[in-house]
Amino acid sequence: MEGLDIRKEAVKGFIKVFSCAHSMLMASAEQHRRPVDVNMLKAVTGLGAGVATMGDICGMVNGGVVALGNLLAPIYGSSADEWKIALFCHEFYRQTREATGTCSCGEIHGGKHLARDFRKAILTGKTFKCFEMLYKGSGILDDFFTPIPDTPLFFEAESAARIQSIHEHFQKNHFHCCRTTLELIQEKSGRDLSFLRQAATGFIGGIGFSGTLCGAVVGGVLAAGAAHGVNPKMSDYSDTVKIIYHGLLKSDKIWNDSRVFKAERAFEVNRKIYELIESTYGSCDCCIISGLDIERPETFMNYREVNGIARCRDIAERIAWETSALL
């Protein structure tokens, strides 16, 4: 939108709704005149605060990946070109980490699980780091669209070739970490989650095969948000003030108080999904669970030899069963 500064809009949105994922998604949608419907907004609820206060990938980054999936699908949505969306998401993650020093909510706020340190995060000013993340991250995302470049030339050739090769392997085996999980949840729960198909595109092999937060976990989080998430457009500045005030008084207890924190139910379900995978596999990071590392080609060869997709499919099945039960 002419005259709109997406960076300022993202920061302003965060001050109003106190949700990094929502702020990023709404600012991007407004910039590109692509309105986001209420169901989509509800679905991304649990991607904020490093996945429902678990201190994982920054909600701004997650919101940006959702935005890229929605915006790029009309351009690269064909089966042959879809790997390019994964490449954009990989590069968005890489550039944001390079510009800000980290994409981990836990590292920003001084602890793996944000909920345990919320009062400290406020008093030490670490919460203000969220403004920097949104300002820089939204600027990086916007640069991708001025104009849309020819993907293989725009990004480093070797990374592009690796991502294309791995993506083709996943396609041949009819598996997509996030999307497959959503399809399984839809099948088991009877809920229509097809509206999340484009948004889920970048959550494969972590974020665009970056080895970060497991895409199957994101699938569970999106499904739980679709059922229990909140519409940020119903929030205003007074809600943010209330969260900060009670955060100083109660610290981590506010996340369980629906009178103060409207997303309480969505966060509760999302934490259970996250903790299930973390306790079972020792981590929610794709590179640790699957052993797949885009920077080490030999790990891809091993992943194929041991049929790593079968293990990933089992994880998607387990998350689908657990999420459906929680819904």
pTM of the full structure: 0.93
**Is residue 247 situated within a structural domain?**
yes
How far apart CA 76 and CA 83 sit, in angstroms, is 8
234: pLDDT confidence band, cut at 50, 70 and 90? confident
The predicted structure's pLDDT at residue 159? 81
How far apart CA 3 and CA 200 sit, in angstroms, is 30
The predicted structure's pLDDT at residue 126? 74
Indicate the burial class of 222 (C-beta count within 10 angstroms; 0-12, 13-18, 19 or more): buried
**Mean pLDDT confidence for 246-263:** 77
pLDDT tens-place string over residues 183-211: 999 999 999 999 999 999 999 999 999 99
Of the listed ranges 129-138, 169-178, 233-242, the least confidently predicted one is 233-242
- Quick one: DSSP state of residue 49? H
**Is residue 34 situated within a structural domain?**
yes
**Number of domains making up the chain:** 1
pLDDT surpasses 80 at 127: no
**Is residue 11 situated within a structural domain?**
yes
**Is residue 1 situated within a structural domain?**
no
pLDDT surpasses 90 at 91: yes
Q: What is the 3-state secondary structure (H, E, C) of 62-97?
A: HHHHHHHHHHHHHHHCCCCCCHHHHHHHHHHHHHHH
How far apart CA 101 and CA 86 sit, in angstroms, is 22
pLDDT surpasses 70 at 154: no
Q: CA nearest 182: which of 316, 12, 5, 326?
A: 316
The predicted structure's pLDDT at residue 1? 45
**Is residue 96 situated within a structural domain?**
yes
How far apart CA 84 and CA 183 sit, in angstroms, is 22
The predicted structure's pLDDT at residue 259? 82
Quote the mean pLDDT of the chain: 89
**Mean pLDDT confidence for 175-185:** 98
pLDDT surpasses 90 at 53: no
**Is residue 183 situated within a structural domain?**
yes
Domain of residue 50: give its range.
Answer: 6-326
The predicted structure's pLDDT at residue 239? 80
* 3-state class (DSSP) for residue 104: strand
Cβ 126 vs Cβ 58: under 8 Å: no
Share of the chain above pLDDT 90, in %: 62
